[in-house]
Amino acid sequence: AAMDLFGDLRRMNKRQLYYQVLNFAMIVSSALMIWKGLIVITGSESPIVVVLSGSMEPAFHRGDLLFLTNFHDDPIRAGEIVVFKVEGRDIPIVHRVIKIHEKENGDIKFLTKGDNNEVDDRGLYKEGQNWLEKKDVVGRARGFLPYVGMVTIIMNDYPKFKVCI
């Protein structure tokens, strides 16, 4: 298959090759513009995430694609599903807010837990951290598409599959 590709490239004249490269560059730049536009519109650094574990079942299943917003003016409420990052971990976590601790000055701290987990998330937070803060939130779940993210999970679980594509 790779040899056929190189054969096709050799048979193209320079104008055809430039046209193909330009088309590819336009597709990539369009995708980046759409992604950056979503970031601006949603207020979230990551407006779309894939659920990677079963910790939120039955609300969300492994492979569900979540759509996030993160407007800082919206207060965080108990029962809301948030996506948060913990210092020292690369992958964001999707869990439900179970407790809110609000100070008199308006600062809010909160505790999360996966719906399918027995205990709260304090064991997932960085050492000595008992509560999350708004700065830890990547986004809040606003909608989802079931199982659309399974391709991402398959590529993460089976790296050889990436080569096949």
Query: Residue 50 corresponds to which tokens in the numbers above?
Result: 């894939």
Task: Identify the three-state secondary structure at position 68.
Answer: strand
Place of tokens 């003016």: 73
**72 is known as an active-site residue:** no
Q: How far apart are CA 141 and CA 51, in angstroms?
A: 11
**95 is known as an active-site residue:** yes
User: Which one from 4, 30, 44, 55 is the annotated catalytic residue?
Assistant: 55
**101 is known as an active-site residue:** no
Helix runs in the chain, H state only: 2-11, 14-42, 150-157, 160-164
- Bond from prior residue into 159 cis (ω within 30 degrees of 0): no
User: Which one from 95, 101, 136, 157 is the annotated catalytic residue?
Assistant: 95
Q: How far apart are CA 153 and CA 156, in angstroms?
A: 5
Q: Known catalytic residues?
A: 55, 95, 121
